Amino acid sequence: MIAALGTLAFLATLWLLVVIGARVLEESGAKIAAALKGMQPRRPLAVTIPVRVRGRPRLRPAMRAHSTCGAIIPVAGGHLSPNQSSGFAEV
């Protein structure tokens, strides 16, 4: 039973690779053939439509990052209060 499932997975993978390879050759096969012949590929005529691009106005100003974590900072002046054992205070 395991061999049958392994064979099925192998065949499904092989089929997927063939489908992807056919799609790649369909899209760029002319370029590959032209490169092998040493010629420039023919490009299809493309219609270009002029488009006017406008930037979006900023709706609000950019925000600055602020540190609001409960960090421990040095006490100003280095003086210790009676409750503190070091020169740092909790914020």
> Which band of pLDDT confidence, cut at 50, 70 and 90, is reported for residue 48?
confident
Per-domain boundaries in the chain: 1-52
Backbone angles phi, psi at 48, to 5 degrees: -100, 135
Instruction: Name the pTM for this structure.
Output: 0.36
CB-based burial, 30-41: b 16+ in 10 Å, e otherwise: eeeeeeeeeeee
Provide the sign of the torsion angle of the four alpha carbons 43, 44, 45, 47, taken in this order.
negative
Question: Three-class SS of residue 89?
Answer: strand
Closest to 30 (Cα-Cα) out of 17, 43, 18, 20:
43
CA distance 83 to 89: 10
> In this predicted model, what pLDDT tens digit does every residue of 67-87 receive, in sequence order?
666 556 555 555 555 555 555
> Which band of pLDDT confidence, cut at 50, 70 and 90, is reported for residue 44?
low
Check residues 40 and 36 and name the one with the higher pLDDT: 36
